[in-house]
Amino acid sequence: MTSDLSDFGEQFHRNALSDLRLGLDDKLSQLERGRIIRGSKQALWAIRLAEIHELYDGLVTQTVMGQMMDAQSRQLLRKCWLQISALERNFARVVGELEQQRKQNDMLLELLLTQKGIGAPLS
């Protein structure tokens, strides 16, 4: 399955998330080692930014998954339409064959009735 995610720019968002994560990991590491004071403005910003990072990462993932599901749905719909088209062609062929068989049966019946002298031709 292929899907075009160029309109979303997934790679741009993934790169931004990676850059943000590197900075966050550094700040959170400093916070854990006591280099940043707990409860300070810098510590609170780092914690809040980590929460935002998680939400943003989830949003990017949901968007990508949604687009992949849309692509899958379009692909399945195309497949269904192809199958419907094939069924319609097959139905038309069978109807044509049945019509031909009916004409042959009518001709045979007319010939049989004429040979037996039972009645006037059917057509």
Range of the domain at 14: 10-116
In a domain, residue 123? The reply is: no
Render pLDDT for 76-104 as a digit per residue (tens, 0 to 9): 999 999 999 999 999 999 999 999 999 99
Q: Which residue's entry shows tokens 């998680």?
A: 54
Work out how many domains the chain is built from and give that number. Answer: 1
pTM: 0.49
Please, what is the average pLDDT of the chain?
Answer: 85
Cα torsion at 115, 117, 119, 123 (round to 10°)? 20
Question: Which strand (E) or helix (H) includes residue 102?
Answer: helix 41-116
The answer to whether position 122 is within a domain reads no
Report, as an integer, the average pLDDT of 27-49. Answer: 88
